[in-house]
Amino acid sequence: MKRRLLSISLIILLLSVIFTSCASGHKELINNGEVTIPEELENKIDEDGIYSSPEEVAEYIHLYGKLPQNFITKKEAMDLGWDNEKGNLWDVTDRTSIGGDSFGNREGLLPKSDGRKYYECDVNYEGGYRGAERIVYSNDGLIFYTNDHYKSFEKLY
């Protein structure tokens, strides 16, 4: 009888430890009715950051509704002395990329909607001549990636 009572007590103790541990984990997530995201899951895209990869730039646009600070329009670049035929963007800027100009969607490969406007930006740019990789994003939250200079698109958001 004592053995059985001891076994039941140990099981109850073990279960209470398990449930208490699980509950304390949830206290970190829910605080006064507000959900708090654990640090390891927090977004690593900083509004003041500099980004070039398609994934990072797309997430930045998705989060902040604008391009990162390391992008300038073609006109801004030309005003600084950029000549596309020379591939000298990094010679006349502080390692910026081209972005923010209108994209016409003339081929009609992207979804159309009243009032929708598309913009483009270079991604994975490493100086010199511009490559084929672009992010094309809309004023209403759509974000696409092309690695073949607008021949095909992958929807990211």
Residue from 28, 47, 55, 149 carrying the catalytic annotation = 149
Q: Mean pLDDT in runs of 10 for the chain (157 residues)?
A: 52 50 40 42 82 98 98 98 97 96 97 98 97 98 98 97
Is there a single domain that holds both residue 32 and residue 69?
A: no
Is there a single domain that holds both residue 99 and residue 83?
A: yes
Is there a single domain that holds both residue 64 and residue 96?
A: yes
Give the phi and the psi of residue 100 in degrees, each rounded to 5: 105, -5
Kindly report the CATH number assigned to the domain that includes residue 116: 3.10.450.30
pTM of the model: 0.72
- For the question of residue 149 being annotated catalytic, the response is yes
Contact 147, 122 (CB under 8 A): no
Domain hosting 20: range is 2-40
Contact 135, 145 (CB under 8 A): yes
Per-residue pLDDT at 8: 57
Is there a single domain that holds both residue 75 and residue 144?
A: yes
Is there a single domain that holds both residue 60 and residue 84?
A: yes
Cα(109)–Cα(152) distance, integer angstroms: 8
Is there a single domain that holds both residue 35 and residue 52?
A: no
Give the phi and the psi of residue 109 in degrees, each rounded to 5: -80, -20
Residue from 76, 120, 126, 133 carrying the catalytic annotation = 120
